[in-house]
Structure 1
Amino acid sequence: MRTRLIIVFLVPMTVILLALGGAYALSVARSIQQEVSNQQLADLGYFLTGARQSLRAANPAVVEGELERYSELYGTRVAVFDRSGMLWAAGGMRPESVNEEMTTRIGLALSGRRSDPSLAVLPWSLGETVMVEPVFDDGNVIGAVMIAESSDAPRGEILAHWALLVAVCAVVIGLLVFAVFRLARWVLQPMMRVDHAMAAIEHGEMDARIADDTGPPEMRRMIRLFNQMAEEIERVVSRQREFAMNASHELRNPLGALLMRVEYLATGLDERWETDVEKTREEGRRMSRILDTLLNMARAGQQDSSFAVVDLVELVRGRVAAWREVAAERGLSLVVDAPAPVMSVTDRTSVESALDAVIDNALKFAPTGSRVDVAVGSDAERSTISVRDRGPGLEPEELEMVTSRFWRSARDQNVPGSGLGLAIATDLLSGLRGSVEVSVPEGGGLCVALRLPAGEL
């Protein structure tokens, strides 16, 4: 966006400036060359009288001394030619220095025509400037006067003007670049703040807002609307979390009372009702687990992530140690495969909560006497914590649904749980710019990988 805005403003202005500068440069070159041509014409007019007198008197000495003084003073070659085109008198010019172009111009002058100056527009294409005027006597051409002057002086003057013009254009373009960058920053800075605020809200910072006192009026209006939208989202999310927490708290007491009443009633029933009572107890315990999970989800969504450098190997070893007793009660073994420290800039609490949910899920489905492997690895972009069990696994078409909330495989309906474990892990990892990947490894079971950014977020 910044690049496009700079191009839209800067390129047209630069093109216009270069076009005007080029036109001005050509105009300066023509003006200087015209000034030189006018000066030569004036000098030729001065020498015409002396040349006429010299030719009429048949005495070159009448004008030759004046031609030599002029040539020495200005470094210009001046010559008078007679009616036959032969050199009559000269200042700084020899007969052998008369080239073909000069001969052509002299012939035109002796025929009564004035020759035009050999002017060029570009200074590096300028050669020697030659002008020839016929000498008339009573309407008859009796000779010609020629001035040949080097172009070094006008060329240097033109190049000096052009250098000054280039310097001015460079300064103007620099000012334009500075102005366009400031304008782009003034226009885009509010948009960048909107982008940062949206990213903050995406990561759970619901209180992110934008100051609406800078930028163009249109952006200020958009920022005000964004702040209003953010406030509404924060209010809705807050009410959802409060509802989940309040519902979980409020339902725990009547559920506890209901389970106690079931136990009380069970004491008055004979053995025929034992199966039904046990099913009622299990449903009550399942409802209690669902309420605990909902409460944990509400709390996890409410907490602010605190990012810091975390050794994932140390984190995994700590959580596995906490779950080993549960695994032992179920006849399972937890094995950690993490040979070297793996560092990541992340939120420790969120990663621990997600790992707990995945380990809990693995212990539920792993058959007694099997092993659950927890491995830690990393590459240039990602750090990975993988938990692999050797349970029944899932069908390929079920892998996409396993992280959905309350989803349970049809063959696992009798396994205790709420179907929220992997959904909680997915929500927690998404807030850390990570992801949860579920796959079926060779040998059966299920492998759940928690992938986290390896560098700073």
Structure 2
Amino acid sequence: MTRRILLSHLSLILLVLLVLEVPFGLFYARSELSRFSHAAQQGAMTLAEVCEEKTERGITGDLPDLARAYGRRTGSRVLVTDHRGVVLTDTAGLAPIGRNLSAEPDIAAALRDRPFVGRGSAPSVGGNVLLATVPGRSDAVVPCVVRTVYALSPLKARIHAVWLALGLVGVAVLAAVSLIGFALARSITRPVRALELATAQLADGRLTDPPATDHGPPELRRLAASFTATATRLQHLLREQQAFASDVSHQLRTPLTAVRLRLENFEPHLAPCAQDSLDKALGELERLGLMVQGLLALARLENSAIRPEPVDLDIVVADRAAIWTAFADEQQVGLAVSGARAVRVWAAPGALEQIIDNLLSNALRASPPGTVITLAVTDAPGQGGHTASEAELHVIDQGPGMTRAERLRAFDRFWRAAGADHDGTGLGLPMVRQLTRASGGEVTLEAAPGGGLDAVVRLRRAGSRTHRERPGTAPPRTPTTPGAVPVTAAPRTVGRSKAR
């Protein structure tokens, strides 16, 4: 912004200088040449009158001294001819006495009583010259002609000096305007940069350096004050919401656990015909607990700033697949891992594990016995033959799949497809989308070839690993139980509905 303001000022001043100085320089050059030509013509006419008088009296022997005196006084070369164009004297000695110059244009014009003033070229005097050739006239007779030749180099030197002075003045004006414009631009943009820094801090979750409200133009001061008040209010609301989520998590967990224990204590005292109702009540109670914890986890994700970090995608996929294999075997479902190795992506801390857990849990519920769930790591389709800047994680099942309308609504909170099992919360896929976006990526649902659903998670690449071996001897971590939704700073929510 500083550069644009400075360039706008300099462009305007440069335009003004060009409009003022260029016409002035051209006018000065033309006026100096015109003045010089007029003075040369007047001087030649005065000398011609004297030469005419000398010629009529027959005192032509005085003409060389007269011409040399005039040439020394005016810095010109003087040539005098008689009425036939024969040279009587030449101060430069270039034209010998007695030579006939009546064929030269300026001499011929003067012999016809027409003065001639113009520019020409004379290498003997250093380039361009000014010729002033006038007749020495007596009534209708032209007894003599006087030619004065002036070098134009001194005049050009004066004109060039004026152009140089104009250029120096323009440079000085531009330099002064640059300093003034830079100071003005800095005074305007300093509050804007402070607002930009404060906005970035607020986006990270905490405003530590609020913008000053006593610098810059009045409009920016008022903007800084309004921004500070808004940011303070937002931070207060975020703290209150986070505190509310923490309090609700603590306050709801205890009564829900107590209700569950009381219902379970009824089991020995119930008739067999009421056992089914008790099981359904416990199931609904468990689903309520999962729903509350999922909502609180989503609230924490939305209210916190998460910085992605490089994560080994293929290692995390292999690790989670090893953990979920046991659960898949219980339902007679296969679990296969394929795709690229040594793939690093940007992901929020702990987010990638939760994304895979949720997608595998949903895929396992939708997969009939005897089918296979595939976890594939591939490169995102590149453009123009260039290397892909994103990697894709595919979780593909062979279940009934979803229609296009269902896939579009699957990420809505609490939405479940018709015929979904009743113990789901409809928060699994919303959690996946929130975690993926927090990692700088995107997730979509697509129809799998041959039936089923393909959940595609696209994440930005973070470069290659130095060590490309895939660890396989490390002890597996304790798996997150399918259906459980632990509420932590990085929740590992597992959805339970077909709608995911």
TM-score bracket, shorter-length normalisation: 0.7 to 0.9
Q: TM-score, normalised by structure 2?
A: 0.76
Instruction: Quickly say closer, same or farther: Cα 1:59–1:17, change in 2 above 3 A.
Output: same
Residue in 2 that maps onto 1:322: 323
Given residue 26 of structure 2, which amino acid in structure 1 is its aligned partner? Answer: L
Structure 2 alignment gaps of length 5 or more: 121-126, 380-386, 464-500
Cα distance change of structure 1 residues 98 and 263 upon mapping to structure 2, 3 Å threshold: farther
**Whole-angstrom distance in 1 between the partners of 2:249 and 2:375:** 32
Residue equivalent to 2:13: 13
Kindly indicate whether residue 461 of structure 2 is the aligned counterpart of residue 454 of structure 1: yes
Is 1:426 aligned to residue 426 of structure 2?
Answer: no
Displacement of 1:56 in angstroms is 2.1
Provide closer, same or farther for how the CA distance between residues 301 and 322 of structure 1 changes in structure 2, counting only shifts above 3 A.
Answer: farther
Shift of 1:395: 0.8
Shift of 1:261: 1.6
Q: Report what 2:478 is aligned to.
A: none
SS at 1:400's partner residue?
Answer: helix
Residue 292 of structure 1 corresponds to 293
Matched, 1:435 2:450: no
- Residue 354 of structure 1 pairs with residue 355 of structure 2: yes
Q: How does 1:152-231 map to 2 (within 5 A)?
A: 152-166=153-167, 168-170=169-171, 172-173=173-174, 176=177, 180=181, 183-184=184-185, 186-195=187-196, 197-198=198-199, 201-202=202-203, 204-207=204-207, 210-212=210-212, 213-231=214-232
- 1:47-58 correspondence runs (5 A): 47-48=47-48, 50-58=50-58
The structure that is helix-richer by fraction is: 1
* Change over 3 Å in CA distance of 1:254–1:448 after alignment to 2: same
> Counterpart of 2:232 in 1: which secondary structure?
helix
The structure 2 residue matched to 1:106, chosen from 102, 105, 110, is 110
What's the CA shift for 1:232? 1.9
Q: Choose 289-298 or 132-141, whichever is displaced more.
A: 132-141
> How far 1:324 sits from its partner (Å)?
3.2
**What SS class does the counterpart of residue 409 from structure 1 fall into?**
coil
Distance 1:265 1:350, change over 3 A: same
- Mapping of 1:228-243 within 5 angstroms? 228-243=229-244
Partner of 2:344: 343
Aligned to 1:122: none
Question: 1:381 and 2:389 equivalent?
Answer: yes
Name stretches of at least 5 consecutive residues in structure 1 with no aligned partner.
Answer: 120-125
CA distance in 2, matches of 1:201, 1:289: 32
CA distance 1:187–1:320, shift in 2 (3 Å): farther
Instruction: Give the SS at the match of 1:410.
Output: coil
Distance 1:28 1:311, change over 3 A: farther
Q: Which letter maps to 1:350?
A: A
State whether residues 358 and 448 of structure 1, in contact with CA within 8 Å, keep that contact through their aligned partners in structure 2. Answer: yes
Q: How far apart in 1 are the matches of 2:332 and 2:9?
A: 72
Q: Are the equivalent residues in 2 in contact too, given 1:366–1:390 (CA < 8 A)?
A: yes
Contact 2:291 2:425 in 1 (8 A): yes
Q: Is the 8 A contact 2:363 2:396 kept in 1?
A: yes
Contact 2:284–2:423 (Cα < 8 Å) also in 1:
no
SS at 2:401 equivalent: coil
Question: How far does residue 129 in structure 1 lie from its aligned partner after superposition?
Answer: 1.6
Contact (CA 8 Å) 2:400, 2:452: kept in 1 or not?
yes
Given the superposition, is the C-alpha separation of residues 42 and 9 from structure 1 closer, same or farther in structure 2, using an over 3 Å criterion?
same
Q: Give the direction of change, closer, same or farther, for the CA distance of 1:184–1:284 in structure 2 (3 Å limit).
A: same
The answer for the alignment partner of 2:413 in structure 1 is: 405
Q: Give the number of the structure with larger relative contact order, counting CA–CA contacts within 8 Å between residues 6 or more apart.
A: 2
- Cα root mean square deviation, aligned: 3.5
State the 1:50 CA deviation: 4.0
Change (3 A) 1:97 1:419: farther
Cα deviation 1:315-340 (Å, max 9, x = unaligned): 32233333333333333333222432
Distance, in Å, in 2 between the alignment partners of 1:157 and 1:96 is 36
Q: 1:400 to 1:332 in 2, by over 3 A?
A: same
Between the aligned partners of 1:200 and 1:452, the Cα distance in structure 2 is: 25
